[in-house]
A and B are shown apart, each in its own frame.
Chain A
């Protein structure tokens, strides 16, 4: 089955990004396809490459980057939601005059159309985090 995933909550405060990750991994290992993971609302913070948890804790952001690299998953951050919350790639940071960019490896910024398209293309769209 072809799944699309939407994640609406930030890591660490909420468990939903962890649950979404576990689901994604289980689905991939069972031979399903993950069409796209779309991060919206505070879920865009899953793409902050500056995330630096204590060493004995899971790194939610790095885990997504590794998943993208290993399985070629399309990780898309809503650009409008990301701008509100300070997540930017190098181009966006330069355009807005910020000193640094922080979009983590394996993620890309794009519009809400990517979420709608995922809903159209996938067999099931699952939403994690209210």
Chain B
């Protein structure tokens, strides 16, 4: 089997805690990064909420998995994109996010999606 690198995009679209999607997406992302592919992540729609700083989910009995986002760069994730429009719609400023991200317009998001080999949607 010849070694090949594909462009993988993981799209996060859901808020944390209400569903497990953001949490299990993160597990898939870390696995993908371990396979040494070209990994990008996009946070879109309610998917921007997991990036908020200072989450405290202890009182609702759920694990705060957001610190793991800090490890993404260590795992060799190439690009972390956030749809700027999604932040604006939700009244979130970029300095409220827990990690360094690249803000993209919706048009740029479309171009990013076009460039991928594989898109995982969570």
Q: Given contacts A84-B20, A120-B6, list 19 more A-B pairs with CB under 8 A.
A: A40-B28, A41-B20, A41-B24, A80-B27, A81-B24, A111-B31, A112-B31, A113-B34, A113-B35, A115-B31, A116-B31, A116-B32, A116-B37, A119-B117, A121-B1, A125-B120, A127-B119, A127-B121, A130-B13
Is A117 at the interface (CB under 8 A from chain B)?
yes
- B residues near A (Cβ < 8 Å) are 1, 4, 6, 8, 13, 20-21, 24, 27-28, 31-32, 34-35, 37, 117-122
Tell me, in angstroms, the Cα distance from A80 to B28 when the chains sit together. 11
Q: How many A-B residue pairs have CB under 8 A?
A: 47
- A residues near B (Cβ < 8 Å) are 6, 8, 40-41, 80-81, 84, 111-113, 115-117, 119-121, 125, 127, 130
Residue of B nearest to A114 (CB): B31
Instruction: Judge whether B35 and A41 touch: CB under 8 Å.
Output: no
Tell me, in angstroms, the Cα distance from A120 to B35 when the chains sit together. 9
Listed by A's residue number, 29 A-B pairs whose Cβ atoms lie within 8 Å are A6-B120, A8-B122, A40-B24, A40-B28, A41-B20, A80-B27, A81-B24, A111-B31, A112-B27, A112-B31, A113-B31, A116-B8, A116-B31, A116-B34, A116-B35, A117-B35, A119-B6, A119-B32, A119-B37, A119-B117, A120-B4, A120-B6, A120-B35, A120-B37, A120-B118, A125-B120, A127-B119, A127-B120, A127-B121
